């Protein structure tokens, strides 16, 4: 039987134990070289090359003392507002049902807080919803309808995210498969043709982006078909090539921003409309804390654009931060995460050539890197990232493999 005295003495021990725990320093294995890193003399922002003014504005915000996460979200919001950026927010390419579903997450270094939203519909600023989840809930992640209700409850307005341009691109993709379904003009219409001789065409996913001469006929036939359909669908002339490219080689776009100020405070944010034509409900890496974004106030911040499924499997953001914690430079850490992606395919280049990945990394002392799986873009130009460290400049990424993805 427990006496009152036993109870009181046990309670006292528990309280004493809690007190000891509360003040204990729980050691985390961090390389001495990292512990000794000092904040930079100037703020640093690392992100995708956007071509807009938001990076300059975000940098000024950091100089004025604005919080690092707010600066990250300033850039994300600008992308989400840009209807011509088909990889993020308003104007993002939809899922296979023609519905835009957005993913985002963020981490705030100073408070070590995180928030995330997945597959949210009808809300433009997924990045701000992820922040609301972080600041206004006891959760870290909300998805789908629940996330939409939550966003509306916090004053964000519902609006259709599908622009006319994105809708026509989606229809082109949908109708391009008309030999296998009933979308598109029927054979009985005035211009109706017999179904495409699909069996003579290879699956379009097999067409490399930089095809050798052996692909020329295949690409020509496919592109001619798509061009005719694009005209039919009223896609403006200057958008037809882009639409055809998105049908043949759907992209995964996305934007990640990591920001560091002169107090050494760090934040990271990622936002995306995800893989074009995805299965409804699909989540990529962008809403996954530790994959699309990871920030550790003691070490740095990292995030990704590219093949989301691959990045989830190597927990890219977290892997990079942990490698830096052990003393690797941002560049070495980024390349190590990329090596793990290649390792997951046992180095099989027939598969790896369909993958793409860029990591954006900043360490708490201001050292930074952009690391790409492949050296060049589809157009043959080097893969780049943007950094602002007092001056905005575009730099070539360090890369693991020389060549270009066929994705």
**Interface contacts to ligand GLY, rule CB under 6 A:** 252, 254, 272, 274-275, 284-286, 305-306, 308
Of the pair 59, 277, the CB lying nearest ligand GLY is at 277
Residue 211: CB minimum distance to ligand GLY, A: 24
Residue 124: CB minimum distance to ligand GLY, A: 17
Of the pair 225, 344, the CB lying nearest ligand GLY is at 344
| 372 within 8 A of 383, measured Cβ to Cβ | yes
The C-alpha atoms of residue 229 and residue 367 are separated, in whole angstroms, by 49
The 8-class DSSP code of residue 174 comes to H
CA angle in degrees (0–180, nearest 5) for 114-117-121: 160
Of the pair 223, 252, the CB lying nearest ligand GLY is at 252
Q: Which residues lie closer than 8 Å to 120 by C-beta, 6 or more apart?
A: 101, 102, 103, 126, 129, 142, 143, 144, 147, 148, 151
Residue 251: CB minimum distance to ligand GLY, A: 9
Residue 314: CB minimum distance to ligand GLY, A: 13
Length of the chain in residues, anyone?
A: 407
Residue 356: CB minimum distance to ligand GLY, A: 9
Both tokens of residue 170?
Answer: 């989606």
List the alpha helices (DSSP H) in 24-115: 32-35, 54-63, 68-81
The C-alpha atoms of residue 404 and residue 53 are separated, in whole angstroms, by 29
Of the pair 68, 272, the CB lying nearest ligand GLY is at 272
Of the pair 89, 306, the CB lying nearest ligand GLY is at 306
Of the pair 180, 205, the CB lying nearest ligand GLY is at 205
Nearest C-alpha neighbor of 292 from the set 274, 312, 276: 312
The 8-class DSSP code of residue 190 comes to T
The C-alpha atoms of residue 332 and residue 322 are separated, in whole angstroms, by 12
Residue 150: CB minimum distance to ligand GLY, A: 21
| 87 within 8 A of 93, measured Cβ to Cβ | yes
Residue 135: CB minimum distance to ligand GLY, A: 24
| 342 within 8 A of 335, measured Cβ to Cβ | no
Of the pair 298, 309, the CB lying nearest ligand GLY is at 309
Residue 155: CB minimum distance to ligand GLY, A: 27
* DSSP string of 254-267, one letter each residue: -EEEEEE-TT--EE
Of the pair 95, 386, the CB lying nearest ligand GLY is at 95
């Amino acid at each position: 039987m427990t006496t009152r005295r036993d109870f009181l003495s046990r309670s006292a021990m528990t309280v004493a134990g809690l007190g000891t725990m509360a003040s204990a320093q729980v050691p985390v294995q961090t390389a001495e070289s990292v512990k000794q890193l000092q904040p930079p003399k100037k703020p640093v922002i690392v992100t995708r090359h956007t071509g807009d003014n938001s990076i300059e504005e975000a940098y000024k915000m950091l100089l004025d003392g604005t919080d690092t996460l707010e600066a990250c979200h300033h850039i994300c919001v600008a992308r989400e507002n840009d209807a011509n950026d088909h990889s993020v927010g308003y104007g993002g390419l939809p899922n296979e049902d023609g519905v835009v579903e957005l993913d985002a997450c963020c981490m705030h270094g100073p408070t070590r807080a995180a928030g995330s939203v997945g597959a949210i519909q009808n809300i433009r600023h997924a990045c701000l919803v992820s922040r609301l989840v972080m600041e206004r809930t006891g959760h870290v992640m909300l998805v789908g309808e629940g996330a939409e209700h939550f966003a509306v409850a916090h004053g964000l307005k519902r609006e259709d995210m599908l622009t006319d341009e994105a809708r026509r691109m989606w229809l082109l993709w949908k109708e391009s498969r008309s030999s296998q379904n009933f979308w598109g003009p029927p054979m009985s219409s005035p211009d109706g043709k017999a179904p495409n001789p699909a069996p003579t065409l290879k699956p379009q996913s097999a067409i490399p982006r930089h095809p050798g001469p052996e692909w020329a006929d295949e690409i020509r036939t496919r592109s001619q078909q798509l061009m005719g359909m694009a005209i039919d669908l009223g896609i403006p002339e200057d958008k037809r090539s882009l639409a055809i490219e998105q049908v043949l080689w759907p992209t995964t776009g996305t934007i990640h921003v990591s920001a560091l100020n002169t107090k050494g405070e760090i934040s990271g944010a990622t936002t995306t409309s995800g893989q074009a034509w995805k299965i409804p409900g699909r989540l990529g890496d962008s809403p996954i804390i530790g994959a699309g974004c990871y920030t550790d106030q003691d070490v740095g911040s990292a995030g990704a654009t590219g093949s989301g499924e691959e990045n989830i499997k190597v927990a890219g953001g977290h892997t990079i931060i942990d490698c830096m914690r052990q003393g690797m430079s941002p560049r070495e850490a980024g390349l190590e995460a990329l090596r793990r992606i290649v390792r997951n395919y046992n180095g099989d280049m027939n598969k790896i050539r369909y993958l793409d990945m860029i990591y954006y990394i900043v360490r708490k002392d201001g050292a930074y890197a952009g690391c790409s799986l492949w050296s060049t873009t589809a157009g043959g130009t080097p893969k780049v990232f943007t950094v602002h460290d007092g001056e905005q400049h575009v730099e070539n990424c360090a890369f693991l493999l020389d060549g270009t993805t066929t994705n």
